[in-house]
């Protein structure tokens, strides 16, 4: 039975707040995310540290739904490259999730700190994430928000594993999914085009991640003035829909053909032709010896730092606002179609209706330097730079 569901006549059994404080010491708020507050917590008996996510029920139905969804998904999964759920409590006012604590750095931080960085290092990162995603997909779970900010090293040891965090947007694929969600720069064409979608969106996002790790650049970008958010995002979405990216010189000159091949097959616009996670694992660049061991750190780091300095990669967006705007043309066109006999079907997708993107733009919220404990609702950073892991 799904988490939170009751049988007819069954009374809800809530945890007492003292059950939590008897077992854990909760520290100060580390940061506030879209739906929850993040704490560090220490088990009083073992002295082991955990991450605690607190969801306030009073914050609305979406928050309650996000908490229940994350609990449901995390209870299903057990994989070395996924942060594990350790404990769950539900009081009358809150949900508390206790998860493994990752103390390592983000991938970008790790790259910048290395004296030597090659395709083989990237291949190792992508392999671990692919294995976790293939596992999720075997359970028919779509993560829907894979991005560099959600990939961290488990600890600071030299050969630490990579772990995936943040499952509040993850969804069981019971039939194809319609509602768009995710982080703009990583969205697959079928999401931007308001088509039904499924597990292939995660593979597209992994292609974007791989592209960035090998070049230090995002595959899709626009040179529109930093303050012209609307036109910037419309142009971004058009490029995503068309798969309009390049292996441009000089950034890709030293990258192997095998790496480029894998990126291209992951970032295939037609989701039916896109590689699955398991097929990607079997690709020679991951499972064979095709990844080059040539040092590419200088070029990659230069581009990482250059993109980090660009204001447009620092902005934050209200994801819900963006998604409403992605949906808006569909609803408006559907209403018009209902009023005009013989009008075309809007479900054909944005590829057949480029004007559909006229409203599909994101609203600026703040810069990446905004206070990490801000309680601004429904905000999420989408940046290609060194920022703290955030939903």
Rounded (10°) CA dihedral 294, 298, 300, 302: -170
Averaged pLDDT of the chain: 81
Q: Which fold has domain 107-319+363-381?
A: Transferase(Phosphotransferase); domain 1 (1.10.510)
Residue 378 confidence (pLDDT) = 32
Higher pLDDT, 205 or 307: 205
CB 119 within 8 A of CB 256: yes
Residue 4 confidence (pLDDT) = 54
CA 143 to mean position of chain CA atoms: 7
CB 73 within 8 A of CB 168: no
Q: What CATH code would you report for 17-100?
A: 3.30.200.20
Select from 298, 353, 305 the least CA-distant residue to 326: 353
Residue 350 confidence (pLDDT) = 41
Judge whether residue 119 has pLDDT over 90: yes
Judge whether residue 218 has pLDDT over 90: yes
Q: Where are the domains of the chain?
A: 17-100, 107-319+363-381
Residue 212: which residues within 8 A CB-CB, separation 6 or more?
Answer: 148, 218, 219, 384
Residue 52 confidence (pLDDT) = 97
Strands (E), 217-350: 316-318
CB 131 within 8 A of CB 275: no
* Whole-angstrom distance, CA of residue 33 vs CA of residue 375: 8
Judge whether residue 89 has pLDDT over 50: yes
Q: Could you report the per-residue pLDDT of 9-45, keeping only the tens digit for each? A: 566 789 999 999 999 999 989 988 878 999 999 999 9
Residue 351 confidence (pLDDT) = 43
Judge whether residue 124 has pLDDT over 70: yes
Judge whether residue 279 has pLDDT over 70: yes
Q: Which residue has the tokens 């058009």?
A: 238
Q: Helix, strand or coil for residue 278?
A: helix
* Whole-angstrom distance, CA of residue 213 vs CA of residue 232: 23
CB 89 within 8 A of CB 20: yes
Residue 64 confidence (pLDDT) = 94
Asked whether the whole model's pTM tops 0.85, one would answer no
| Of the candidate ranges 60-69, 93-102, 193-202, 345-354, the one whose mean pLDDT is the lowest | 345-354
Read off the tokens for 251: 């950034």
């Amino acid at each position: 039975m799904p988490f939170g569901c009751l049988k007819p006549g069954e009374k809800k059994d809530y945890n007492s707040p003292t059950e939590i404080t008897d077992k854990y010491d909760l520290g100060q708020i580390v940061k506030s995310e879209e739906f929850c507050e993040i704490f560090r917590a220490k088990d009083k008996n073992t002295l082991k540290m955990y991450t605690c996510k607190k969801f306030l029920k009073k914050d609305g139905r979406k928050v309650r739904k996000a908490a229940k969804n994350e609990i449901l998904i995390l209870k299903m999964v057990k994989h070395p490259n996924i942060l594990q759920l350790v404990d769950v409590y539900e009081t009358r006012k809150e949900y508390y999730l206790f998860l493994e604590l990752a103390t390592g750095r983000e991938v970008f931080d790790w790259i910048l700190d290395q004296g030597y960085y090659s395709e083989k290092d990237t291949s190792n990162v992508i392999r671990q994430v692919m294995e976790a995603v293939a596992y999720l997909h075997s359970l028919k779970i779509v993560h829907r928000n894979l991005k560099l900010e959600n990939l961290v090293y488990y600890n600071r040891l030299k050969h630490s594993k990579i772990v995936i965090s943040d499952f509040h947007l993850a969804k069981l694929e019971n039939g194809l999914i319609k509602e768009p969600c995710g982080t703009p720069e990583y969205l697959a064409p079928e999401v931007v085009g308001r088509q039904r979608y499924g597990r292939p969106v995660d593979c597209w996002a992994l292609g974007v991640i791989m592209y960035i790790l090998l070049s230090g650049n995002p595959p899709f970008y626009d040179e529109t003035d930093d303050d012209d958010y609307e036109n910037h995002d419309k142009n971004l979405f058009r490029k995503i829909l068309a798969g309009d990216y390049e292996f441009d010189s000089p950034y890709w000159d030293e990258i192997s053909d095998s790496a480029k091949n894998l990126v291209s097959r992951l970032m295939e616009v037609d989701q039916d032709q896109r590689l699955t996670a398991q097929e990607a694992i079997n690709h020679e660049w991951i499972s064979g010896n095709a990844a080059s061991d040539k040092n590419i750190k200088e070029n990659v780091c230069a581009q990482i730092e250059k993109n980090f300095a660009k204001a447009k990669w620092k902005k934050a967006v209200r994801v819900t606002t963006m998604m409403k705007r992605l949906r808006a043309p569909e609803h408006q066109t559907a209403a018009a179609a209902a009023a005009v006999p013989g009008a075309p079907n809007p479900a054909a997708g944005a590829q057949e209706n480029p004007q559909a993107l006229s409203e599909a733009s994101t609203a600026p919220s703040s810069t990446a330097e905004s206070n990490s404990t801000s309680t601004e609702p429904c905000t999420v950073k989408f940046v290609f730079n060194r920022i703290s892991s955030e939903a």
